Amino acid sequence: MRIKKLKLVGFKSFVEPAELRIENGLTGIVGPNGCGKSNLLEAIRWVMGESSAKSMRGAGMEDVIFAGTASRPPRDFAEVTILAERSDDGDAATDGDQELEVTRRIERGAGSAYRSNGRDVRAKDVALIFADAATGAHSPALVSQGRIGAIISAKPQERRQMLEEAAGISGLHVRRKDAEQKLRAAESNLARLATILADMD
Ligand code: ATP
């Protein structure tokens, strides 16, 4: 998967609609301290489904919404869209589309909602889309400030998680959990059926 564009509005310091094109090769973002460089990386993690407000440097998830300044009132919503190109190899969850557009929007008091190529989807679906493409909100490829030290000193279990993500199999864990839940429900239905049948004998 190759990220081609990031669109933001009302997200943290990006109060006005902003678009960042990510061309082939290396893209550098430069600017003075506090201008919003880290906010851009956070926007990528957020649209990929980040659920921890703390890792967005906030107390609650609504803290990603533009909070206002001395001269500008706060906003009621934040929206981030990521445009990507999916490659065939490794992207198990693709449905034939090569272009992927995922949007996450949060409104004050109403929580987050996701859309994928114009359709409403669940957070879980978004996590699967990115996990199958060997990326996601917790991908080791997204390295925030101070994370390099943490990666070097990671425990074997955490390292395994990184390798699984790099191999694009972390989506399988989510599917396995789903399958196990369905299996347990089917087993309990079968047990109830057996009781009913026994009562009828
Ligand atoms: P540095 O180079 O120091 O790491 P940076 O360019 O990475 O800085 P960020 O940390 O991305 O900067 O941005 C911090 C700025 O974003 C601060 O000015 C902060 O006030 C602003 N900011 C963060 N959250 C919000 C919000 N919800 N509403 C308005 N502004 C916000």
Note down pLDDT in tens along the chain; length 201 residues.
Answer: 889 999 999 999 999 999 999 998 888 899 999 999 999 999 999 999 988 888 888 889 999 999 999 999 999 999 999 999 977 654 555 555 589 999 999 999 999 999 999 999 999 899 888 887 777 877 767 777 777 787 788 888 888 877 777 676 777 877 888 899 999 999 999 999 999 999 987
Adjacency order of strands within the sheet including 2-9: 18-21, 2-9, 77-85, 99-107, 111-116, 119-121
Which amino acid, residue 115? Answer: R
Atom number of ligand 1 nearest to Cα 40: 11
Q: What are the pocket residues of ligand 1 if the criterion is a CB atom closer than 6 Å to any ligand atom?
A: 12-13, 31, 33-39, 63, 65-67
- Indicate if ipTM > 0.85: yes
Instruction: Tell me what pLDDT residue 96 has.
Output: 56
Supply the pLDDT for residue 109: 92
- Give me the torsion for CA of 53, 57, 59, 63, rounded to 10°: -80
Residue 198: what pLDDT? Answer: 92
Residues facing 114 on adjacent strands? 104, 121
> At 200, which helix (H) or strand (E)?
helix 170-200
| Calpha distance 182→165 (Å, rounded) | 25
Residue to probe by mutation, ligand 1, list 12, 77, 144, 147, most atoms within 8 Å of CB: 12
Neighbours of 142 (CB within 10 A): 16
